[in-house]
Structure 1
Amino acid sequence: MHRIEDYALIGDEQTAALVGLDGSVDWLCLPRFDSGACFARLLGDEDNGYWRIAPKGAEGPCTRRSYRPDTLVLDTEWETAEGTVRVTDLMPQRDRAPDLVRVVECLSGRVTVRSTLRIRFDYGSIVPWVRKSGGHRVAVAGPDSVWLRSEPHVHTWGEDFSTYSEFTIEEGEKVAFVLTWHPSHEPRPPLIDPYKVLRASVRDWQKWSKRCHYDGPYRDVVVRSLITLKALTYRPTGGIVAAPTTSLPEELGGVRNWDYRYCWLRDSTLTLNVGLSLGYREEAEAWRDWLLRAVAGDPADLQIMYGLAGERRLPEFEVPWLSGFAQSAPVRIGNQAVEQLQLDVYGEVMDSLALARDAGLSTKPHMWAIQVALVDWLRSEWRQPDEGLWEVRGGRRQFVHSKVMVWVAADRAVRTLEKNPKLEGDLDGWRELRDEVHREVCDKGFDSERNTFTQSYGSRELDAALLLIPRVAFLPPDDPRVVGTIDAIREELDHGGFLRRYSTDETTVDGLPGGEGAFLVCSFWLADALHMTGRRKEARELFERLVRLANDVGLLAEEYDPVGDRLLGNFPQAFSHVGLVNTALALFGGDEAG
């Protein structure tokens, strides 16, 4: 059975594919991250679509694989009795015509290679009609059309509703395949030269990676995370998806399976910090502009997530024909959490826009007006209970982290006015709001007996999000209440040396059965908190253990199972990689605030 860490990512900043250790592309949505998958074996079986290229008779994993240095170009190699062959996978960038390029090269000997292509549109449910056209294979079903192109001498045939190719290559020879999508009602897009786009992709990725300003320890790990975040960016709008997958389970066989192919506001401040700190100002500005477009409108209608272009309706439904990864059902499309109230997003948006302004990003005429509307809405609504950062489905509560982020919203509004006195706003009123929220959180959200902040008012549960209290400057790192909270979370939410988000026992607030793994971004937050409170050796040791959880090509999922020693949750996860980069900056980049 495949493990989540068996996969590598390739993409073109419009969509992405997951390639397994066995050379099989088991997940690909076309033409966008949130489109229906044409390869959905990841969440089902071979009948749900995949594309494998490997030496004939090689059933198991490859001998080795790696990305070409500082790129998203993947090399997978097999050593066989007949010789050694390499498959290079990439998705070159071009507008509205995603291409999956697979180049096979014989490095030694003489090897027979087989390609098995099984296209199944709409998440593996629709078998297309496949025909020949000028030496190509064309698969069409409804709005979707894909073209398969290869070398003229490659023997290709159809059988069992699949397309097979077989060929023998000798040392130094290459064979390329190109799979191109386009709307079925439009003409086929211009053909690309697979060898030229391979060279161009390597060159462009390496040029982009050289812009990274970070030159501390673990630079290769930081750059790999940056490349992953770039690959999860929807280039036409600047939005960044939380992950390119849906329904990879937080517990094998469990029901905690969610669609993450959307853009969350919760990621905004940390993502902006990465871009602005490491020389990717253009990407940071594109993300800031996406944020402004998405949140424009009535502050009461602010959502926690949006579609790639800012779409607001992301209805959730289940697809019963997919059995789920490792039989973890249901498989969900869309995300019902879009309808939740999460007050923390107001603070995250205000913090992001304050950071962008302080960094000197170009201002937009309407930006301050939006900020004023958001903080003024909070003045009358901040006392509401909400579903909180973790999108619980067990009912609303007075979550402490949510209230802390309300304080952040007011604080950033006050700071912005103090730095920019020409702007208009109710400075006194916002100061009053900030002070009132602070008093209430310290009064109702703190357990003096245990010297720790709690998950919600009056509860005894803890929440790893409380580790952000010193980071957002709600209290200084040396405040005894901060130190007590860090120590309590570290002890009570420990899971194999890492952190859970919160307890998932019978008293859990999320309203779901079962448990989950250690949440990686929370563990990075712990490393940050330890560093800020002077425990730098412990912080670095934790960071090093977290880095070792990445798979063989440097990718992290959402969670980790310390018992089964495997990754869990959607993959690769933007939040985990953002956490890694920000922690590296805090520990090694001279940025003491993280």
Structure 2
Amino acid sequence: MATPLNQTVADSALLGGSLPLGLLRPYLQGQDDADGIGPGLMAELKMLARQPSLLVACNYGGTLTPVDGQTTETLPLGSAAVALRAIAALPNTYAAVISGRSLRDLAAISRLPAEIHLVGSHGHEFDMAFAYSMPRATDGVLQLAGNTFMERLTARLGEGPGERLVTDRGLAFERKPAAFAVHRREADPDAAEAATSLAREIAAAYGLFFIEDGTVLDLSALPPAKGAALDRLRAQLGVSAALFAGDASSDEDALATLRGPDLGLHIGLRETTARHQLRDPEAFARVLAVLFELRRAWLFGEEAVALERHSMLGDGSSTALVTPDGKICWMTHPLPDSGSLFAHVLGGDPAGHFSVGPLVASRLLGQRYVDNTMIVETRWADVAVTDYLEPSPEGITQLVRVLTGTGPARIVFAPRPDYAGAPCAIEARGDSLHVVGTSEPIVLHAPGVRFAIEGDGRHATATGHADLAHGPVVLTLRCGDPEAHEPDPAEEPARRAAVALAARAWVRSLDIPAVKPSLVVRSALTLRHLVHEPTGAVLAAPTTSLPEGIGGTRNWDYRYCWLRDASLTVMALVELGSTDEADGFLAWLGRILATAPGPEWLHPLYSVTGAPLSTEASIEHLPGYAGSRPVRIGNAADHQVQLDVFGPVAQLIDVLSERTRELPDEHWRLLVQMAAAVSARWHEPDHGIWEARRAPRHHVYTKTMCWVTLDRALRVARRHGRTADDGWEPLAAVVRSEVLAEGWDDGAHAFTVAYNSPDLDAAVLHVGLSGLIDPLDPRFLATVAAVERELRVGPTVFRYTYDDGLPGLEGGFHLCTAWLIEAFLAVGRVDDAEELFARLVALMGPTGLLPEEYDPSTETHLGNHPQAYSHLGFIRCARLLDEVHRRGR
């Protein structure tokens, strides 16, 4: 067994690959085997593998290798040692060997690399300087004790003048920095017994500590300190959990320090305080191999489903994501920013999921939205599932999953409340599964399905089978229903038809452009279901922490209402002919302003309830999408100054009043407040549209939006006969003049991100798109050319390329691509607009959804999904291109 494991780890694991599943599958499934990796140990390994930072430490001889080794002996690198090296190569994962041997000999014999921490002398020797730190008196005592031991042992084993030398009896001796050691591995039984007895006597006589470490006896000037060494390593490395494995009595000192999620292993059959015992180092090698694979999967994610291939469900209050193979991989309750019930997209199976599919592996045929609805169908060769969120009373989330087909289906219900951080159980009661231990009632109604429920000590998973040959199976998950109503499966077709009818009626009310009409409808439905109908607030996206760079730290929580994003979202719907969403959002904003100290003190974003956000925090036990950490909840941008947000609100009121030909008093009051906020603070620096986490600057986009606020207020006043403030017009002229004078950079030959900066930013396209200058002005033409030249890469446009104070990189931004398309149209470059629009269309996912960003180098979609910005930008481009076509170019 050692050779295959050596080879697979050395050739695969240490190079960043994974161990062969055939080798690991029995352990990953929790089966007992001869090496003792049963379900209990497997469950603990799974929990240990998901710790934010992990230390794996062990003894050397008898644990990491089958034998101790003599001072000058070089041992072959065993399977456990290779697996330990693989573990040490993982991020946020550390390995150590704490041995009774001297540090010099430990390093020479083990040949372990520098990434593995070595501690010698039973936990005392962390570096070579230890050898020179012993007092001379201590050295003298050890020398005297060693000489006495040798003399008395020779006499005890001697047979007169022809006595055999002690070393001929298989004993070996060694001076360590703080001990005199006797090696008994090769000794005959009589010699080993005599050496052990005498060593105890000599240690007591000279005030030394007698330490028995496997086949080695130490007469030590210092007590065993493997526990203290383990604690020191934990503190030094800042780990959140540790595994320690040992075979000797001295290892019990380290095992005694373990706590919480820590795991202790004893190698061999002697009595121990460790919870688990393994037969030999080869069994320990298998445990390390399993731990490596579990942790690698947790750190880097299970094979991640491409973001754009996820489909969104929505009912106007709740949202969920479903993968192409029918797995509900993301859902929160009761609010968009509440803890998740399923977070598979951020942590794989341990983070929770609700999966359906054929019992026997079957070819996946595809996934689609039912025309003009948010109902999703996923089909295999002999099984199909239809998913939708059914509108329910406020506070109740109702997910309906209808299974049809000719073959047997498998259902896995694995709720993991609060980002998999809260324990829960599942109880079967009749035809329902009740999640126990949550603050909200959660019940899965599944008539005709019988489930087997298994738990791992913190969470439960229910697995069931359904024979679809007898008819459809209706699964209804209700969250937040205190009455625990049991829906009648016979009524499901009518309920689904009502959901579809309402969606199609709304779509028929829209003015859909002739350019890509089906994709415009899908984008419009997506935006509508990012509106939280109970409050009127609008989500930027329904997800958190989907990365802007795989493996990077630019992972943000977008489940909130940004004033800017929300205004642009509902404005896109207004331009298609739907105004209810805009009315609801403006009413929500009015309630925010009613309790704000003044309009100029609006936050950039709020929760859907209107409350300020809690402190941004990280969920350390989730690995993130494709291993991209941290998983964040909350958003620190809540505390930033973003003075551009007043412009999109003013634009919305302008477009809405033009569309409806009405201006309610409350909308005029909002517009007056936006203009007042600009009058009070337009001259200040801010953090800008992109929320850079650096010092505020005078951003050109922000100043442009301040001008937009005043310009649209004046326009609305003229259109509807309202009285404009006398200061608005002259102030608008001042702001415009400053933007033109300070925003232009001669070196860049373009408008740039901020005053006195040469850096380009796609957002400055709004200098021309907003009407602040004529789009045919040479300065705008030059800016469009500069953005195309410097920020466009293939089918995408980056926001900027300057240092924004954050580590890592990001992809191109779909909204910026839409802005460049709009700019092309504004300056008359219709063919270029058509070409870039076609490339944007080609990036859409198979069900018509777009995340936030796209990396052209890896052809990977990035960012939260689906993103309101991406879809509202797409809708605007389709509308503008349609207008061009109608005019005959």
Q: Is the 8 A contact 1:270 1:582 kept in 2?
A: no
User: What secondary structure sits across from 1:402 in the alignment?
Assistant: helix
Q: Is the 8 A contact 2:784 2:823 kept in 1?
A: yes
Aligned residue type for 1:35:
S
Once the two structures are superposed, residues 255-285 of structure 1 have per-residue CA deviations (whole angstroms, 9 ceiling, x without a partner) of 0000000111112443343222222122332
Name whichever of 412-421 and 241-250 sits farther off: 412-421
- Say whether residues 1:367 and 2:667 are aligned partners: yes
- Say whether residues 1:16 and 2:319 are aligned partners: yes
How far is the alpha carbon of 1:190 from its aligned partner?
A: 5.8
- Say whether residues 1:539 and 2:833 are aligned partners: yes
User: What secondary structure sits across from 2:763 in the alignment?
Assistant: helix
Q: Is the 8 A contact 2:346 2:623 kept in 1?
A: yes
How far is the alpha carbon of 1:409 from its aligned partner?
A: 1.4
1:393 to 693, 696, 703: 693
Tell me the distance in 2 between the aligned counterparts of 1:586 and 1:314: 40
- Say whether residues 1:577 and 2:871 are aligned partners: yes
Q: State how 1:102-501 maps to structure 2 within 5 Å.
A: 102-106=401-405, 110-152=406-448, 154-160=449-455, 161-170=460-469, 173-182=471-480, 186-189=482-485, 191=487, 193-296=491-594, 297=596, 298-360=598-660, 363-421=663-721, 423-427=722-726, 429-501=727-799
Tell me the distance in 2 between the aligned counterparts of 1:169 and 1:380: 66
- Say whether residues 1:51 and 2:346 are aligned partners: no
User: What secondary structure sits across from 1:88 in the alignment?
Assistant: strand
Q: Is the 8 A contact 1:5 1:566 kept in 2?
A: no
Tell me the distance in 2 between the aligned counterparts of 1:19 and 1:228: 14
Q: 1:286/1:374 Cα in 2 relative to 1: closer, same or farther (>3 Å)? A: closer
- After TM superposition, the score normalised by the length of structure 2 is 0.63
Q: Is the 8 A contact 2:445 2:486 kept in 1?
A: no
Tell me the distance in 2 between the aligned counterparts of 1:112 and 1:577: 38
Aligned residue type for 1:50:
H
5+ residue gaps, structure 2, are: 1-302
Q: Is the 8 A contact 1:222 1:580 kept in 2?
A: yes
- After TM superposition, the score normalised by the length of structure 1 is 0.93
1:98 to 397, 407, 416: 397
- Say whether residues 1:5 and 2:303 are aligned partners: no
Give 2:237's aligned residue. none
Tell me the distance in 1 between the aligned counterparts of 2:740 and 2:732: 12
Tell me the distance in 1 between the aligned counterparts of 2:823 and 2:537: 28
How far is the alpha carbon of 1:511 from its aligned partner?
A: 1.1
How far is the alpha carbon of 1:220 from its aligned partner?
A: 0.4
Q: 1:367/1:218 Cα in 2 relative to 1: closer, same or farther (>3 Å)? A: closer
Aligned residue type for 2:356:
I
User: What secondary structure sits across from 2:768 in the alignment?
Assistant: coil
1:511 to 800, 805, 825: 805
Q: Is the 8 A contact 1:273 1:582 kept in 2?
A: no
Once the two structures are superposed, residues 312-370 of structure 1 have per-residue CA deviations (whole angstroms, 9 ceiling, x without a partner) of 23431111111111111111101110111111112222222222233336544343334
Once the two structures are superposed, residues 31-51 of structure 1 have per-residue CA deviations (whole angstroms, 9 ceiling, x without a partner) of 221111010111112111101
Aligned residue type for 2:780:
V
User: What secondary structure sits across from 1:293 in the alignment?
Assistant: helix
Q: 1:123/1:493 Cα in 2 relative to 1: closer, same or farther (>3 Å)? A: same
Q: Is the 8 A contact 1:39 1:49 kept in 2?
A: yes
Q: Is the 8 A contact 2:540 2:566 kept in 1?
A: no
Once the two structures are superposed, residues 151-198 of structure 1 have per-residue CA deviations (whole angstroms, 9 ceiling, x without a partner) of 23x22221232111112222x821111111016xx3324635433322
User: What secondary structure sits across from 2:328 in the alignment?
Assistant: strand
Q: Is the 8 A contact 1:88 1:103 kept in 2?
A: yes
Q: Is the 8 A contact 1:182 1:189 kept in 2?
A: no
Tell me the distance in 1 between the aligned counterparts of 2:641 and 2:805: 16
- Say whether residues 1:550 and 2:550 are aligned partners: no
Q: Is the 8 A contact 2:432 2:447 kept in 1?
A: no
2:387 to 72, 85, 89: 89
Q: 1:361/1:55 Cα in 2 relative to 1: closer, same or farther (>3 Å)? A: farther
Q: Is the 8 A contact 1:146 1:182 kept in 2?
A: yes
Aligned residue type for 1:78:
W
Q: Is the 8 A contact 2:537 2:566 kept in 1?
A: no
Tell me the distance in 2 between the aligned counterparts of 1:214 and 1:373: 33
How far is the alpha carbon of 1:412 from its aligned partner?
A: 1.9
Count, aligned residues: 574
How far is the alpha carbon of 1:411 from its aligned partner?
A: 1.5
Tell me the distance in 2 between the aligned counterparts of 1:366 and 1:213: 27
RMSD between aligned residues: 1.9
Aligned residue type for 1:67:
Y
Aligned residue type for 2:451:
T
User: What secondary structure sits across from 2:364 in the alignment?
Assistant: coil
5+ residue gaps, structure 1, are: none
Q: Is the 8 A contact 2:851 2:864 kept in 1?
A: yes
Aligned residue type for 2:750:
T
Q: Is the 8 A contact 1:337 1:391 kept in 2?
A: yes
Q: Is the 8 A contact 1:496 1:563 kept in 2?
A: no
How far is the alpha carbon of 1:544 from its aligned partner?
A: 1.1
User: What secondary structure sits across from 1:469 in the alignment?
Assistant: helix
Aligned residue type for 1:27:
W
How far is the alpha carbon of 1:75 from its aligned partner?
A: 0.7
Tell me the distance in 2 between the aligned counterparts of 1:498 and 1:50: 33
Task: Decide which structure has the larger Cα Rg and report it.
Answer: 2
Q: Relative to total residues, which structure has the larger helix share, 1 or 2? A: 2
Aligned residue type for 1:243:
A
Aligned residue type for 1:535:
R
Q: Is the 8 A contact 2:520 2:874 kept in 1?
A: yes
1:62 to 355, 364, 376: 364
Give 2:122's aligned residue. none
How far is the alpha carbon of 1:215 from its aligned partner?
A: 4.0
Aligned residue type for 2:483:
P
Larger RCO (CA within 8 A; separation ≥ 6) = 1
Tell me the distance in 1 between the aligned counterparts of 2:400 and 2:443: 12
Q: 1:182/1:361 Cα in 2 relative to 1: closer, same or farther (>3 Å)? A: farther
Tell me the distance in 1 between the aligned counterparts of 2:651 and 2:509: 25
Once the two structures are superposed, residues 535-583 of structure 1 have per-residue CA deviations (whole angstroms, 9 ceiling, x without a partner) of 1111011111101111100000000111221210000001100000011
Residue identity (%): 35
Q: 1:31/1:589 Cα in 2 relative to 1: closer, same or farther (>3 Å)? A: farther
Name whichever of 282-291 and 320-329 sits farther off: 282-291
Q: Is the 8 A contact 1:454 1:460 kept in 2?
A: yes
Tell me the distance in 2 between the aligned counterparts of 1:304 and 1:189: 40
Name whichever of 263-272 and 332-341 sits farther off: 263-272
User: What secondary structure sits across from 1:64 in the alignment?
Assistant: strand
Once the two structures are superposed, residues 369-418 of structure 1 have per-residue CA deviations (whole angstroms, 9 ceiling, x without a partner) of 34334323432421111000001102211111111111111212222333
Tell me the distance in 2 between the aligned counterparts of 1:167 and 1:560: 40
